[in-house]
Structure 1
Amino acid sequence: MRRVLILGGTGEARELARLLDGDTAFDVTLSLAGRTAAPLPAAGRTRSGGFGGAAGLAGWLRAERAGALVDATHPFAAAISRHAADAASAAAVPLLAVRRPGWNAGPGDRWHLADTLAEAAALLPALGTRAFLTVGRQDLAAFAATRLFCLVRSVDPPAPPLPADHRLVLARGPFTVEDELRLMRDHRIDVLVTKDSGGDATAAKLAAARAFGLPVLVVRRPRPPSGVPVARTPAEAAAWLRALPHALPPGATP
């Protein structure tokens, strides 16, 4: 039996845990950072809270005799991904990143790309006066100085600083196009701001912006750490795990 640690917080992580649940070849732990007050339920065993950086994660992998590490965190969780790469290398544990495909602009889209949140905040005033911010509650500080009206959507209440003129909507996806059209119409939104998170759960806002002809300010996602193999779906990740050589994990004895 191979012990697998999945670094989660995404739908892909929950789906991978479900695919492996009940498979006697694996002993799976799904790790959640604990930043969401009421995470969605997941199959199998879960743990909540950080590890104490790369060194702490490497120590956990060694202590638990883990045979594989899967980084299925959010595409923008760059620090956690770096820690995962460093920890897997230090503990000599195979590492896989799961990254859903990013979004692509289509006919009729008016996309403006930024490499960072700070760059997006600087570009925003030239694109509109009433912004729909869908960048996650931990990245709102980059827009705190803006004088625009901002509709802010988040799963949990965000901590300050926030834009002075804002309206907060607490909601969890998936959202329908009709939901997004209504929300944008009711708040007279004229520009959408989002990170290139990819996936279907929050893609409806892009279709709604296209329908209204609105500009969309898209923050590009960071690249995974160099040398880490990437699966695009939980099914690909499960296949990768099943194809690993049946070697003993570090520190184990026959």
Structure 2
Amino acid sequence: MSQIEIAQIIDQIKQEIAVDASGCGKASIRATARLANIDATGLVRSLKTAVDNSRSKLVEKLICKGFEAVEILGWSQSGIPDIAVAAILHYYGYEAGKRCTTQAKFACEAFESIGVRAWIQDLLGWTKPATSTKTAMTQIQLLAAIAQQMAQQEQYLLEQQQQQTQILARLKAVEVEQDRVNTPCGHKYSVVGFANLQGLEISVKEAGAKGRKASALCRKQGIEIERIHDPRFGKVGLYPESVLIEVFSTGQN
């Protein structure tokens, strides 16, 4: 869920929010549910427990915030007060357990910084009578600034993910190369490379002879011989370690 998606949702629910002359905002059940990314019917069902003996955890939270049970019950017709909207977003962002949504958390983080009431006021063009000639930053501008900061954080995380992907790709390339030179018979070496690894001196003639023996053993065992470029010989074969051990052991006997 990105800030762009949050902005799109806000635009979609704009017709379902209102602000009165005193600046108090309200949002419909559907608008609040869209902000929290929850089912509107489920939200209504939860709020209706306000007059039941067994209240939902959300209703208990709202009552602790100072709302009356009868008042909560009427929100499906009258709309949800802005302060209650903030409480509902916080509940579904952090307190609803497995029903928590990432969208509610993002919306809560953004709106808590400036207040849902101020956001609704500015979104609908409500302004408090000016008491100063100084021009202050509007609440929407504050929200935009917060959204920009969150977008920058998202970009930073994206860059970190890209770097991690590049590192993983390099590690994968190393693993592929290791798999290429490893077989069930062991590592693969050229004749000269294996001799150097064993601390043995070998002439070009001996290397050629042992290479032919190694090739014959590979063909006999059905092992494919890999060829690589060599600055001295043009191309040389790579043979499994087990084959080269047999070739060199035979030569010493």
Q: TM > 0.5 between the two?
A: no
User: Which protein is richer in helix relative to its size?
Assistant: 2
User: Which protein is richer in strand relative to its size?
Assistant: 1
Q: TM-score range by the shorter chain?
A: under 0.3
Which gives a bigger RCO, structure 1 or 2 (Cα 8 Å, sep 6+)? 1
Greater Rg, structure 1 or structure 2? 2
- After TM superposition, the score normalised by the length of structure 2 is 0.21
